[in-house]
Each structure stands twice: as structure tokens, then as C-alpha cells.
């Protein structure tokens, strides 16, 4: 294999992941991408339990790394660097990944890159869709909701982020309230297909206001009140609540992303890129497509498996850093909170899956 070959490791939340990515002549190639989900271990609790996550990473990581090397048909001696997620996320899990990466790097005398998980999401479209910089990124997952102008490697300007719940978290909490299974996003989307999106009028926090921050906690409370008002709920009620919730979300995204496009109109992005688990939602994608069309830029959504947490994005960020001559940083201490744009003012609140900013 020619070019730069990097092993990536990701353990910041409830996925144990390892991947091998090659970078040759500016082009990235995913040689392997192994993601072991801990969904079953956490499902009974309706969310991620940090201690269970850390223990599961310890048990699975060695084998996941072995599988990633085997699938890529490489050995440790073919690698040029190791890249590992060092934050933001659940510290127990991060420590498992960082200690393992550090051990491999020391034993094999390889440079180690401590990668910000959000940088992985931010750079994915350049790997999967060869998107050119700058682009406007909407990252909507269970732990994060932010709009970021991605100018290139290590060039991130956060335009807005949530001041309370992450969007995926709002889907998950809504699902839980309505008795739907975890993770809530796909369950709410499925229920919504049968529902009337206009039956319930729900609030759209911050919509119409300047800027592009997000707020979802008032919306979640409104769904609960509406549900309590008509309890006991029939299947039709649940479908109507899900459809109304989802429609409201798309309207909020429309307003916020529209404002972000205006905010960067002096040096407009070349595309709108979506990432994170919520970007798998059809209604969300359709609405973002419409917003992009209005702004006159293409809409790019990487394949769902690379929108959600994975190690290929971490390996890719490491490969770009190695190629750009960045120093390795193997003395890095894992961080629960680690803003992508260090210059942006921190937002308050802890996410279910760690920090949101």
C-alpha cells in the first residue's frame, strides 16, 4: 500500500471502533471500518451508562483493532501513525482508547495523534464525498448539535450550538416519553410516517431570533404536556405527536441553518454538509436539501454509517495531520469537554453523552 496508512481508534461513547485509512495524493481510502455497537448493553437503561460503556470498550477493543487490521490486510509494521479520539466524550471510554493507542505507538515506535472527535465529524465529507473547503457543517447527533464553518484542517469556526439538549437527545427523550424504544430517533421517524404533522402545534425555541444557536428542551416539555393532555395515548396519538415533533424540528433547522448561511455570506460555503445520527432522518435530509437549494449550494450527506460514530473519521483526521506536518501529541490527557473552535465562548450544560461544545 502506498501513501500514508493510519490506524484510527474511537471509544468516546457507546461504539468501540477501529479503522484503517490510507491517504495517497490527497485522496483518502477507507481500507477497513469496524464498529461494534454496545446498543444492547445500554438499551434496558434507555441511554448510555458510562461505567458499562468503559468496561465494554476494555473487553472489545483489542479484537476490534485486530479485525480492522485484518480487514485492511495490513500489520502494525505497515502503519505510519496511530490516531485516537481524545475527547470530547465519556472519560472512562476515552481512557481505554488513549491507553491502548499509546501502548501500540510506544511498542511500534509510531507517532500518535490525539484527535478531537468533532474534528473527525467535521472532516468526514472530505473523505467520503471529496467535498472541498470551505463548507458549512450541521452536526446533529445524540451528544452534539452545532453549526460549524469548516475552512480546512484545524480551521473551524463555530457559528452556533445548542444551549440545552442535543437534537438526538430530544428525539430519544421524546421517544421515551411516548413509550417508544431506544434509540429514539429511528422509532420516532417510523411512527411519524403514519401520523398527522399538523395535529399538534409545538413551540420552536429561538426561531426568528438572530444567530444560529439551538434550544430543544422547551419543545420536549411541550410534547410531554400535549401527551399528558390526551392520555391514555392511542397508536394514532403517538404517531401524530411524532409527526408533529419531527415537522417542528425540520422548521427549526430550516430557520437556524438559513441564518448560518446569511452569517457567512461574505465568504460563502461551497456546500452544506450534514453529519451525526440525526442526519439519517429522511424528513431532516429533505428539509436540508431544500435549504441548500435556496442558498444555491449542494447538500452533502455522507453515507449514514460514516455520519454516525466511527474510527475511519479519526484515522482520516490523523492522516491529514501527519501529511500536513503537524506534531504528534502523545502526552495528551483525555478531555470530557473539548470545543472544536477553542476561540468560541463555551455553552452551558452537560450532554447525556458528554460535552456538547
Q: Report the C-alpha gap between 317 and 319 in whole angstroms.
A: 5
Q: Report the C-alpha gap between 19 and 112 in whole angstroms.
A: 15
Q: Using CB distances below 5 to 8 A depending on partner kind, what does residue 353 bind out of ligand KG4, Zn ion, none?
A: ligand KG4
Least gap, CB of 129 to ligand KG4 (angstroms): 17
Nearer residue to ligand KG4 within complex by CB, 131 or 308: 308
Least gap, CB of 190 to ligand KG4 (angstroms): 8
| Helix, strand, coil in percent for the chain, rounding step 5 | 45, 20, 35
Under the binding rule (CB under 5 A), the answer on residue 237 touching Zn ion is no
Residues 122-141 that bind Zn ion (CB under 5 A): 141
Least gap, CB of 141 to Zn ion (angstroms): 5
Among 193, 159, 111, CA closest to 263 = 159
Q: Report the C-alpha gap between 346 and 355 in whole angstroms.
A: 10
Residue from the set 113, 171, 214, 338 that interacts with ligand KG4 by CB under 6 A: 171
Nearby residues of 321 by Cβ (< 8 Å), 6 or more positions away = 83, 113, 115, 153, 154
Least gap, CB of 201 to ligand KG4 (angstroms): 21
Residue from the set 119, 164, 165, 189 that interacts with ligand KG4 by CB under 6 A: 189
Left, alpha or beta for 152 (phi > 0: left; psi -120 to 50: alpha)? left
Q: Using CB distances below 5 to 8 A depending on partner kind, what does residue 213 bind out of Zn ion, ligand KG4, none?
A: none
Under the binding rule (CB under 6 A), the answer on residue 100 touching ligand KG4 is no
DSSP 292-335: HHHHTS-EE---HHHHSS-SHHHHHHHHHHHHTTPPP-TTPPP-
Under the binding rule (CB under 6 A), the answer on residue 184 touching ligand KG4 is yes
Under the binding rule (CB under 5 A), the answer on residue 309 touching Zn ion is yes
Nearer residue to ligand KG4 within complex by CB, 32 or 246: 246
Q: Report the C-alpha gap between 43 and 355 in whole angstroms.
A: 21
Q: Write the interaction track for ligand KG4 spanning residues 295-314; mark x where CB under 6 A is met and - where it is not.
A: -------------xx-----
Q: How many residues bind Zn ion (CB under 5 A)?
A: 2
Backbone angles phi, psi at 62, to 5 degrees: -55, -45
Q: Give the chain's end-to-end CA distance (angstroms, integer).
A: 37
Least gap, CB of 335 to ligand KG4 (angstroms): 16
Query: Taking a C-beta distance cutoff of 8 angstroms, is the pair 356, 162 a contact?
Result: yes
Least gap, CB of 121 to ligand KG4 (angstroms): 8
Nearer residue to ligand KG4 within complex by CB, 22 or 238: 238
Residue from the set 8, 88, 93, 168 that interacts with ligand KG4 by CB under 6 A: 168
Question: Given the rule CB under 6 A, which residues bind ligand KG4?
Answer: 13, 141-143, 168-169, 171-172, 183-186, 189, 276-278, 280-281, 308-309, 353
Amino acid at each position: 500500500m502506498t501513501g500514508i496508512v493510519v490506524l484510527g481508534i474511537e471509544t468516546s461513547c457507546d461504539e468501540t471502533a477501529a479503522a484503517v485509512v490510507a491517504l495517497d495524493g490527497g485522496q483518502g481510502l477507507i481500507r477497513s471500518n469496524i464498529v461494534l455497537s454496545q446498543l444492547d448493553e445500554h438499551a434496558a437503561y434507555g441511554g448510555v451508562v458510562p461505567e458499562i460503556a468503559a468496561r465494554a470498550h476494555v473487553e472489545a477493543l483489542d479484537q476490534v483493532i485486530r479485525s480492522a487490521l485484518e480487514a485492511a490486510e495490513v500489520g502494525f509494521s505497515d502503519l505510519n501513525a496511530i490516531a485516537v479520539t481524545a475527547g470530547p466524550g465519556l472519560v472512562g471510554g476515552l481512557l481505554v482508547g488513549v491507553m491502548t493507542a499509546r501502548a501500540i505507538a510506544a511498542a511500534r515506535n509510531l507517532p500518535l495523534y490525539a484527535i478531537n472527535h468533532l474534528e473527525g465529524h467535521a472532516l468526514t465529507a472530505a473523505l467520503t464525498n471529496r467535498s472541498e473547503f470551505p463548507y458549512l457543517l450541521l452536526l446533529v447527533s445524540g451528544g452534539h448539535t452545532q453549526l460549524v464553518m469548516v475552512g480546512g484542517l484545524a480551521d473551524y469556526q463555530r457559528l452556533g450550538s445548542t444551549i440545552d439538549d442535543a437534537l438526538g437527545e430530544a428525539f430519544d427523550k421524546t421517544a421515551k416519553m411516548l413509550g417508544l424504544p431506544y434509540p429514539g430517533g429511528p422509532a420516532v421517524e417510523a411512527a411519524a410516517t403514519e401520523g398527522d404533522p399538523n395535529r399538534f402545534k409545538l413551540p420552536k425555541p429561538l426561531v426568528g431570533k438572530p444567530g444560529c444557536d439551538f434550544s430543544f428542551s422547551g419543545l420536549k416539555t411541550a410534547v410531554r404536556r400535549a401527551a399528558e393532555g390526551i392520555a391514555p395515548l392511542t397508536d394514532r396519538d403517538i404517531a401524530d405527536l411524532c409527526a408533529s415533533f419531527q415537522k417542528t424540528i425540520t422548521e427549526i433547522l430550516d430557520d437556524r441553518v438559513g441564518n448560518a448561511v446569511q452569517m457567512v455570506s461574505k465568504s460563502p460555503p461551497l456546500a452544506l454538509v450534514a453529519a451525526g445520527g440525526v442526519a439519517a432522518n429522511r424528513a431532516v435530509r429533505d428539509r436540508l436539501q431544500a435549504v441548500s437549494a435556496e442558498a444555491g449550494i449542494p447538500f452533502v450527506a455522507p453515507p449514514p454509517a460514516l455520519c454516525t460514530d466511527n474510527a475511519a473519521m479519526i484515522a482520516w483526521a490523523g492522516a491529514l495531520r501527519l501529511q500536513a506536518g503537524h506534531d504528534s501529541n502523545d502526552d495528551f490527557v483525555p478531555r470530557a469537554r473539548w470545543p472544536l473552535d477553542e476561540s468560541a465562548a463555551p455553552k452551558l450544560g452537560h450532554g447525556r453523552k458528554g460535552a456538547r461544545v
